[in-house]
Amino acid sequence: MDADRVTSGESTPQLTVVLADDHLVVRAGMRLLLSQDPAFDIVAESSTLPETFLAVRRHHPSVLVLDLAIAGQSSLRSIPELLEASPHTRILVLTMQGDPAFAREALRGGAAGYLLKEAAAEELLGAARQVAAGATYVQPSLGAHLAVADLATSRAGADDLLTAREVEVLSLLALGHTNQEIAGRLHISVRTVETHRARIRDKLDAETKADLVMAARERGLLP
């Protein structure tokens, strides 16, 4: 392990940190930045996954700053195991991987934060403070991409939820047609229209016609 120390005495800060990255220069930069806040104490550094597990098990740090690629190995799938080894540790991923899919997978695995190495120095310090305080932090630019991707997913899910006939009924309802008019246009009975309407209402969790149309539009089912 590149560095491994435990501070002692009354000078020991409240929040302990382990830095996991296989680049010495990167770790030195992180150490310098985090040392600006007296609340943080870098108790260990690691350059491989086995070293990271050893440091986490030994120190149970408040924060683990973790690269997703360490010495040729992906640490993404190790996040749940690291948390199992130290349940109270908050993991802040610091990586070059800007793909929202990696961020989503890391957060699902239990990471408390996701930050790109291109971020400003102050952002790393702020992110570390936030995750240590129990919050979740995602780099704003990446968070926007995640929000768009999640919205697209929810829209696709809602579209799959309704049948083709229900989408037709919903579209006509949004245009202001009555049940009788919809029945005539689709060549079905009024009772069938009412049944479709009830099913649509249940699926979209919308009570009134206005709620139903709004829910459909929010999910991308209507223009």
Please give the pLDDT value at position 156.
Answer: 47
Please give the pLDDT value at position 127.
Answer: 92
CATH number attached to the domain at 3-141: 3.40.50.2300
Pick the CATH number of 154-218 from 3.30.450.20, 3.20.20.120, 1.20.1740.10, 1.10.10.10: 1.10.10.10
Q: Where are the domains of the chain?
A: 3-141, 154-218
pTM of the complete model beyond 0.75: no
Please give the pLDDT value at position 155.
Answer: 47
Using 50 as the pLDDT threshold, list the residues of the chain that sit under it. 5-10, 12, 147-149, 151-156
CA 160 to each of CA 42, 152, 165, 205, 215: distance values in angstroms, whole numbers, following the listed order: 49, 12, 12, 15, 15
Please give the pLDDT value at position 47.
Answer: 96
**Beta-bridge partners for 42:** 17
Please give the pLDDT value at position 100.
Answer: 79
| Sheet of strand 90-95: strand arrangement | 3-4, 40-46, 15-20, 63-66, 90-95, 113-116, 137-138
Please give the pLDDT value at position 208.
Answer: 77
Please give the pLDDT value at position 108.
Answer: 85
Please give the pLDDT value at position 6.
Answer: 42
